Amino acid sequence: MSVAQHQALILAGLCLAGSIFLGIVTLSSRRTWFGVFAALNLFLGAVLFGAQVVFGLSGWRSEIMAALLSELPPVLLISGVCLAQAGALPWSGTLPAEAAAQHPWLRATLRSAPLFLLLGWGLAAVVGLAWPSPAMQAYAPAPQQFVLFKWLISAVEGFYSGLAASGFAAASRSSAATLALRLKNIAFSLALFCLTLIAVESAIVAGVRLWGTDVSRRDTVGALLTIEVYLAALCFVALVLGLGLRYTPAIAATFLRQLHTSWLPAQERFESLKWRAVTSGHARGAIKASHHIAEAARLRRLSRADTEKALATVQLIATMRDPLV
Amino acid sequence: MFGELSGTRSSDVILNAARALLRPLRNFNSPHSSGPERPMLTAEQFQEELTLLGLSGKEYGPEEYAGALGAYLGISIAIHSIPDLHYPELSYRLASSGRMGEIRYSEELGIAVIIVPESLPPLVSVLTIFHELGHLAAGDLLIEPNEELDNATPKGPETSTFATIHIKRGKRLARGFPFVRENLREREANLRASYALTAGCLGSLSPYALKMHDIL
């Protein structure tokens, strides 16, 4: 088994464990669209990494294809998270994250994530397939086109996952959120920050394989691949933790929606009755009496509270004697 | 009959097309033109507006909302309760106009004044102030009286989107343009008042405010 296959085996194992864990979480009452999406994504990652171990790789083009396919799960995951933060996913609610709502430029940037991530992935595919390189031979020296291939994906992935991580970090600092929501946002921020670090690590590995000497290359790449495994494990743990922490609001939005619409007719009815009372002259006597009482209260130097009580009494008597309805 | 009907329709189509072509020329010097159609404001969109005002997840009343809106728009907003029991003529004037409150806005001076009768019950008074502030947030007061736009053919009740006026000047909080028809502007101001009242009462308990922190 080659070093790349060994690395793929570890990552496939982590992805499988993560997908099983998330599957259990999503099968329970804590099911969310993101839980299902992340579980399927991790399962796809496990299948892709597993395929590299089982079928092996023959030729540089097949190595490029394997590298490209293993980048798809993070590309999909980051795209989904960015769109959710921009409030662009109809099934997750149309509300964006608070930071995205405050800054329209941030919202537009988050919305553009799938486009640029797939563009970066597509450009990398063109470069990789036009000028094949040993993408899956971790310790082998790499040509310049490999660095270009790797950096095209890593740069976009690193940028958007970093942006999404900072969005969750900002949400975790908000005083308006509850403790459970703060912890949830911290967990998601950590998971996406790990993805950013993996993208940076991946770009450094490509650089080391191009510019490093034989000795330094082996040591540095070995250390970086170990870090990658730890970061991937931390990312999965944080994702599971974030999905496990669920907060149910004390007041349901459906109830509020009913409230918003139900008291508008009541308000309009009040408005209509009030002006009918004024224009039809029903209230004229009460208004005059109120005016006289207010004047009398002023002369007698009554307190404001007592004046209001007197006025309310007159209005109540007028209403009881001559009700409108 | 069919020929006549189709002839009428064709001429109507031609006339409408000509009107549509000439409309931009007619409105060349006008600050208003037709904007994109849009539905009524939703509670989610109002929540986004609250975020822009810095009031998301906070308890607030009409004064705080007016202060935040004024700071956002760069204007000064004053709320005056008029003792209408002492001045019955004010009640008559408001009654004849069919309103519970009144807003006066000067774009040049950057001042908005809201007048509400003191005799209103507290809840109605708060809703009235929020209603008037809603007009300010929506940019309704930036519309100049325009006969052509006011008489625009209303759509059937089955439609969920309504015609708007494209406003080139002034600042508003709402993302969409104001509606062409006044009754729709009033309806949206009522909705905004209702959203503002519940969000201000609930503060951090508002499910819409919490949803912004619970994205995934």
The answer to whether residues A135 and A265 belong to one domain is no
Dihedral, CA atoms, B191, B197, B199, B204, nearest 10 degrees? 180
CA distance A105 to A98: 13
Instruction: Note whether residue B136 is domain-resident.
Output: yes
A178 and A278 in a single domain? The answer is no
CA distances from B109 to A61, B102, B136 (A): 69, 18, 15
Q: Of A185, A213, A248, at which residue does a domain stop?
A: A248
The answer, for B68 touching chain A at a CB cutoff of 8 Å, is: no
Least confident of A286-295, B153-162, B207-216: B153-162
B86 touches chain A (CB under 8 A): yes
* B63 is a domain residue: yes
Residues 13-32 of B with CB under 8 A from A: none
Number of domains in chain B: 1
Which domain covers residue A132, as residue numbers? 3-248
- Average per-residue pLDDT for chain A: 85
Query: Do A171 and A239 have their domain in common?
Result: yes
The ipTM value here is 0.70
pLDDT in tens, A285-317: 666 777 778 788 888 888 888 887 887 777 777
Q: Which phi and psi angles does B179 have, rounded to 5°?
A: -70, 155
A275 CB neighbour count, 10 Å cutoff: 20
A92 and A235 in a single domain? The answer is: yes
Number of domains in chain A: 2
Q: Does the pLDDT at position A70 exceed 70?
A: yes
Count other Cβ atoms within 10 Å, centred on residue B154: 13
A259 & A189 share domain: no
Residue B92 lies in a domain: yes
User: Which of A51-55, A287-291, B34-38, B44-48 is predicted least confidently?
Assistant: A287-291
Q: Do residue A162 and residue A307 come from a single domain? A: no
What is the residue range of B201's domain? 32-210
CB atoms B213 and A174 under 8 Å: yes
Inter-CA distances, A154 with A60, A68, A148, Å: 20, 12, 10
Q: Does residue A120 register a pLDDT over 50?
A: yes
- For the stretch A147-203, pLDDT in tens is 999 999 999 999 999 999 999 999 998 877 788 889 999 999 999 999 999 999 999
Q: What is the pTM of this model?
A: 0.75
Q: Does one domain contain both A265 and A243?
A: no
Same domain, A234 and A265: no
Contacts of B60 in chain A (CB under 8 A): none
Q: How confident is the model at residue A19 (pLDDT cuts 50, 70, 90)?
A: confident
| Whether residue A223 sits in one domain with residue A142 | yes
∠ CA A248-A74-A52 to the nearest 5 degrees?
A: 130
For residues A112 and A58, membership in a common domain is answered with: yes
Looking at residue B9, its pLDDT comes to 47
Q: What is the pLDDT of residue B83?
A: 79
- Claim to verify: residue A158 and residue A288 sit in the same structural domain: no
Q: Quick one: pLDDT at residue B147?
A: 46
In sequence order, the 6+-apart residues with CB closer than 8 A to the CB of B42 are: A94
Q: Is the pLDDT of residue B16 over 80?
A: no
Considering A248, A269, A290, which residue would you say is the last residue of a domain? A248
What is the rounded CA–CA span in Å between residue A93 and residue B133? 27
Residue at B19 is within a domain? no
- Min distance B149 CA to chain A CA atoms (Å): 26
| Domain endpoint, select from A214, A248, A282 | A248
CA distances from A36 to A41, A61, A233 (A): 8, 33, 19
Per-residue pLDDT reduced to its tens digit, B72-99: 999 999 999 887 766 666 766 776 666 7
Does A109 lie in the same domain as A205?
Answer: yes
